[in-house]
């Protein structure tokens, strides 16, 4: 199984220098992500890895359930019992009370959510603790508490409903639950914002604090719900008062946290222009974590599940430039040989933290489980989990 990109499937795509692909090899214990794998990993070159993963899975049988996010490597996704976007995987984790072990091939915040949604006798395992998310790291619990103090001082906290993207730590999901808010993913952000605005009354309208992805918040509010750009302000946690005046906060309808995805943030309007020149008749399809300008320049916008179903339904012979993580785009190119599928950017770029989960880490975790050791267990502290669960269940119940 190869982990190198099929550049022939991406006309005009150049390989990124190796150093970039190695980003994330080091770990940062102070961030949302964890530390390096504590055990002895099998060598990546070991030719028996696939057979070892199969044998370990077979030995565990129904005791283990492997979840795989769409951005995972091919070498890992082949062992997933279910693949999905973050919403579907949260639903699937909640729907498997019989599985003793949930091995989460995704990133840390997804594994935390799975722990919150599963029972106390179920263990959620993240094969590499360093698989975090740089966007989730852009909103720490202390910063969000400080922001709430700023909103309280401005006299608006009682009108604000927090809507937190799934890509946030369990502590922030707990904050959201405690303040009567909901979680959302890229596939239900409009429904979540609609719900949040419905919590207000004509005389007491709601404002939304959307965190941590300003782009998903802006794209949903403006593109999907018809709000104006001027209705949104950006709260910068690194500036006193978020860099906003009390008047700006009081006038805003949506307060966007200044966070973004470093992968989707790479796509530019120039990438869109360029691909339209390179690939005749191309349809540009992007994830809503892209900037508002890119989303406006694209033809279609949606979550990873939406991207997959759009390609499934597309006419043979049609051409698509996809603005999302490269592992998914490569798989779409392979599974749709009757269509032209290219990566929106000219430079190859994976999500380095998603890519931390590789076959050696998966084999190591499964074999540890076979030996009776639960490695890299993700456990959310009970009080945080209680409130995070309230916010997650609100999301799962959205109409």
The token pair at 384 is 């945080």
Residues 121 and 336: their CA atoms lie apart, in Å, by 41
Minimum distance from residue 141 beta carbon to ligand 13P (Å): 20
Q: Write the DSSP assignment of 87-141 as a string of letters.
A: HHHHHHHHT-TT-SEEEEES-HHHHHHHHHHS-TT-EEE-S-TT---TTGGGS-H
Interaction of residue 354 with ligand SF4, rule CB under 6 A: yes
Among the listed residues 366, 284, 293, 352, the one whose alpha carbon sits nearest the alpha carbon of residue 323: 284
Among the listed residues 368, 378, 376, the one whose alpha carbon sits nearest the alpha carbon of residue 59: 368
The interface partner of residue 186, options being ligand 13P, ligand SF4, none and the CB cut-off 5 to 8 Å by kind, is ligand 13P
Residues 380 and 312: their CA atoms lie apart, in Å, by 37
Angle, helix 170-178 to helix 141-153, in steps of 10 degrees:
30
Q: Is 212 exposed, middle or buried (0-12, 13-18, 19+ CB in 10 A)?
A: buried
Nearest residue to ligand 13P, scored by beta-carbon proximity? 85
Interaction of residue 124 with ligand SF4, rule CB under 6 A: no
Site for ligand SF4 in 333-352 (CB under 6 A): 351
Residue from 186, 219, 291, 384 binding ligand 13P (CB under 6 A): 186
Interaction of residue 134 with ligand SF4, rule CB under 6 A: yes
Residue with Cβ nearer ligand 13P (85 or 115): 85
Residue from 75, 289, 358, 367 binding ligand 13P (CB under 6 A): 289
Site string for ligand 13P, 304-343 (x = CB under 6 A): x---------------------------------------
Site string for ligand SF4, 242-271 (x = CB under 6 A): -------------------xxx--------
Interaction of residue 72 with ligand 13P, rule CB under 6 A: no
Q: Is 175 exposed, middle or buried (0-12, 13-18, 19+ CB in 10 A)?
A: buried
Site string for ligand SF4, 103-122 (x = CB under 6 A): ----x---------------
């Amino acid at each position: 199984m190869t982990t190198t990109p099929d550049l022939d499937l991406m006309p005009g795509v150049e390989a990124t220098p190796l150093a970039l692909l190695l980003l994330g090899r080091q770990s940062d214990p102070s961030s949302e992500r964890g530390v390096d794998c504590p055990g002895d990993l099998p060598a990546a070159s070991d030719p028996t890895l696939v057979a070892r993963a199969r044998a370990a899975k077979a030995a565990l049988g129904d005791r283990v359930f492997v979840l795989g996010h769409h951005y995972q490597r091919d070498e890992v996704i082949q062992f997933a019992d279910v693949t999905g976007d973050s919403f579907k995987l949260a639903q699937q984790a909640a729907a498997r009370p019989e599985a003793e072990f949930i091995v989460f091939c995704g990133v840390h915040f997804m594994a935390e959510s799975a722990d919150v949604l599963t029972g106390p006798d179920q263990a959620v395992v993240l094969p590499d603790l360093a698989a975090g998310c740089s966007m989730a790291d852009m909103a720490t619990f202390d910063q969000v508490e400080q922001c709430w103090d700023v909103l309280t001082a401005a006299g608006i906290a009682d009108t604000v409903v927090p809507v937190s993207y799934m890509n946030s730590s369990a502590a922030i999901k707990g904050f959201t639950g405690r303040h009567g808010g909901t979680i959302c993913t890229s596939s239900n952000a409009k429904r979540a914002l609609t719900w949040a605005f419905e919590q207000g009354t004509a005389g007491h309208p709601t404002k939304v604090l959307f965190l941590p992805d300003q782009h998903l918040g802006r794209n949903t509010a403006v593109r999907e719900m018809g709000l104006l750009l001027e209705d949104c302000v950006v709260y910068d946690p690194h500036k006193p008062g978020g860099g906003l005046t009390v008047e700006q906060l009081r006038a805003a309808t949506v307060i966007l946290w200044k966070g973004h995805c470093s992968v989707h943030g790479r796509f530019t309007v120039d990438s869109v222009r360029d691909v339209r020149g390179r690939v005749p008749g191309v349809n540009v399809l992007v994830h809503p974590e892209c900037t508002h300008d890119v989303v406006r320049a694209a033809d279609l916008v949606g979550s990873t599940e939406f991207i997959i179903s759009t390609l499934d339904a597309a006419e043979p012979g049609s051409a698509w430039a996809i603005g999302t993580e490269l592992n998914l785009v490569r798989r779409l190119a392979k599974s749709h040989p009757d269509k032209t599928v290219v990566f929106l950017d000219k430079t190859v770029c994976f999500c380095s933290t998603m890519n931390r989960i590789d076959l050696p880490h998966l084999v190591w975790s499964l074999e540890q489980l076979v030996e009776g050791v639960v490695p890299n267990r993700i456990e959310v502290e009970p009080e945080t989990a209680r409130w995070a669960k309230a916010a997650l269940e609100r999301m799962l119940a959205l109409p």
